[in-house]
Amino acid sequence: MRKVRLLTPGPTPVPPEVLAALGSPPIHHRTPEFHSALMEVEEGLKYVFQTQNDVIIFPSSGTGAMEAAVVNLVSPDDRVLVATCGVFGDRWVKILSSYGVKPDVLNVEWGNPIPPEDLGRRAVEGGAKVVFTTLTETSTGVTNDVKGFADVLKGKDSILVVDAISGLGATELLQDEWGVDVVVAGSQKGLMLPPGLSFISMSERAWTVAKDSRLPKFYWDLFEMRRRFEEGGAYTPAISLIMALRESIKLIRTEGLENVIGRHARLAAATRAAVQAMGLKLFAPNGNCNSVTSVWLPEGIDGSALTRMMDRRYGVTIAGGQGILKGKIFRIGHLGFVDEVDLLGSLAALEMVLLKLGFGLELGVGVRAAQEVLMKGGTA
Ligand SMILES: *Cc1c(COP(=O)(O)O)cnc(C)c1O
């Protein structure tokens, strides 16, 4: 017997209601039936994004909407800032560079969040028209202070663009209230869908800036997507995924966004307590990340053996390190459709695997520490 448990920061487990919707035959997108589903989805997305802006949907992985943000907001000679603390922050640099734009880059040591005052100072000093950054840096398990970013940029000319792909639905993000101009998201993380949809929500100020952008674009042209939004977009929408998104949004509405975020915070706190009780060290002690916990591999433990044994023996998929952290850390996702029992079982499996690989620990110490956090309902 084999069960698949995705304790990874994307893709994440998909609830049965969502899977059932995915199993229905696709309907045509120029029909009243699809239109009404799309409008319901759009209302739901506004709730999850905490915005009154249109949320544009692309059939693509999350990176597609990142590219859409770049090509719709930037011109070749623009001054832009990327504030990064990991692999996904660096992706903004790669996208911009591939269009010939050389951003100013604020690099923060991996494992730490970006200090808002540093971001603000660099944006002002460099005269940045657009600032690109990340809500939750999935490669390191760090949540950035996006409200702080919006605060330091208030009254300035910079547009703030946030990759919230792994943070949306797991971490508080009040786009309109905080004044975040652009938020980008993807389907296979907190939204509990398979990969294949990306989202972008832009303020009126950002749409105004977008009018003047001169980077080349066709598929990613946001004005064209917005103009034809009511038809499902300019091109064939990912009909099945949108029908399924209607179901996952219903689940989020039923639980309530605040409770969804609270559940993520609790699972994250329990995970941090558990791995430390096992004698492991957090990679990002100040990461405060609701979506993923990153952990140093102990001396002498092979990361690929660990993730392989977790998967093959116990059906628990966790993630290794990315970029310069490959072979140095592993990452436990607690994102999307994950509950307390999923987590406790996975932590129990982790203890058994570590013991088998020769790491000395007492069985149950980590699970117990997690249980204690969960019983307190605490967020330690
Ligand atoms: C998953 C992820 C992405 C993008 O991923 P795709 O593979 O393109 O869907 C971008 N940024 C962050 C922070 C992510 O976690």
What are 94-107's pLDDT values in tens digits? 999 999 999 999 99
Q: CA nearest 197: which of 55, 87, 98, 339?
A: 55
- Say what percent of the chain tops pLDDT 70: 99
Distance in Å, CA 323 to ligand 1 centroid: 14
Task: Read off the pLDDT of residues 73-88 as tens digits, 9 standing for 90 and up.
Answer: 999 999 999 999 999 9
Residue 103, ligand 1, Cβ within 6 A: no
Is pLDDT at 346 greater than 70 in this prediction? yes
Residues 6+ apart with CB under 8 A from 41: 57, 242, 245, 246, 249
> In the chain, where does the domain assigned CATH 3.90.1150.10 lie?
5-10+257-376
Q: Given a cut of 90, is residue 232 above it in pLDDT?
A: no
**Has residue 380 got a pLDDT over 70?**
no
Mean pLDDT of 33-44: 97
Token code pair at residue 358: 């020769």
60 lines ligand 1 (CB under 6 A): no
Please say if the pLDDT value at position 239 is more than 60: yes
- State mean pLDDT over 69-75: 98
Q: Are 27 and 239 in contact (CB under 8 A)?
A: yes
Pocket lining: 139 vs ligand 1, CB cutoff 6 Å: no
375: CA distance to ligand 1 center in Å? 32
pLDDT surpassing 50 at residue 308? yes
- Report the pLDDT averaged over residues 120-131: 98
Token digits of residue 124: 């002002």
Q: Please say if the pLDDT value at position 141 is more than 70.
A: yes
Using a 6 Å cutoff on CB, does residue 322 contact ligand 1? no
What is the position in ligand 1's atom list of the atom closest to the CA of 195? Answer: 9
Half-sphere exposure of residue 284: CA atoms within 13 angstroms, side-chain side? 33
CA of 364 to the centre of ligand 1 (A): 33
Residue 233: the pLDDT is 85
pLDDT at position 313 is: 97
Cα distances from 127 to residues 124, 332, 364, in angstroms, run: 5, 39, 54
> Where are the CATH 3.40.640.10 domain residues in the chain?
16-254
Query: HSE of 36 in the Cβ direction (CA atoms, 13 Å)?
Result: 2
Helix (H, G, I), strand (E, B) or coil at 214: coil
Dump pLDDT digits (tens) for 143-192: 999 999 999 999 999 999 999 999 999 999 999 999 999 999 999 999 99
Share of the chain above pLDDT 90, in %: 97
Mean pLDDT of the 271-278 span = 98
Split at pLDDT 50, 70, 90, the class of 367 is very high
- Segment 39-44 mean pLDDT: 98
Centroid of ligand 1 to alpha carbon of 184 (angstroms): 10
Q: Does the Cβ of 133 fall within 6 Å of ligand 1?
A: no
Whether 333 lines ligand 1, by a CB cut-off of 6 Å, is no
Q: Find, among 198, 194, 189, the residue nearest to 260 by Cα.
A: 189
Spatial contact of 268 and 334, defined as CB atoms under 8 Å apart: yes
Q: What is the CATH number of domain 16-254?
A: 3.40.640.10
Q: Cβ(349) to ligand 1 under 6 A?
A: no
Q: 165 CB less than 6 Å from ligand 1? A: yes
Q: Rounded to whole angstroms, how far apart are CA atoms 91 and 132?
A: 10
| Over residues 17-46, mean pLDDT | 97
Q: Is the pLDDT of residue 225 over 60?
A: yes
84 lines ligand 1 (CB under 6 A): no
Ligand 1 contacts CB of residue 307 (under 6 A):
no
> From the CA of 133, how far away is ligand 1's center (Å)?
13
Measured distance CA(166)–CA(8) in Å, rounded? 11
Query: What φ, ψ does residue 249 adopt, rounded to 5°?
Result: -65, -40
With tokens 């303020």, the residue in question is: 203
Going by pLDDT thresholds of 50, 70 and 90, the confidence category of residue 379 is: very low
Q: Tell me, yes or no, if the pTM score tops 0.95.
A: yes
In this prediction, residues 231-252 reach a mean pLDDT of 95
Please give the distance, rounded to the nearest whole angstrom, from the Cα atom of residue 163 to the centre of ligand 1: 8
**CATH class of this structure's domain 5-10+257-376:** alpha beta
Mutate to test the pocket of ligand 1, among 6, 58, 63 (most ligand atoms within 8 A of CB): 63
Dist. CA 176 → ligand 1 center (Å)? 23
Most ligand 1 atoms within 8 A of CB, residue of 85, 88, 199 to mutate: 88
- The C-alpha angle 230, 231, 237, rounded to 5 degrees, equals 115
Give yes or no for a contact between 335 and 189, defined as CB atoms under 8 angstroms apart. yes
Confidence band of 377 (pLDDT split at 50, 70, 90): low
User: What's the whole-number mean pLDDT along residues 40-61?
Assistant: 98
Distance 137 CA to ligand 1 centre (A): 9
Q: For ligand 1, atom 15, which residue shows the shortest CA distance? A: 166
Phi (first) and psi of residue 331, to 5 degrees:
-130, 130
Task: Give me the pLDDT at residue 231, please.
Answer: 83
Mean pLDDT of 280-288: 98
Pocket lining: 134 vs ligand 1, CB cutoff 6 Å: yes
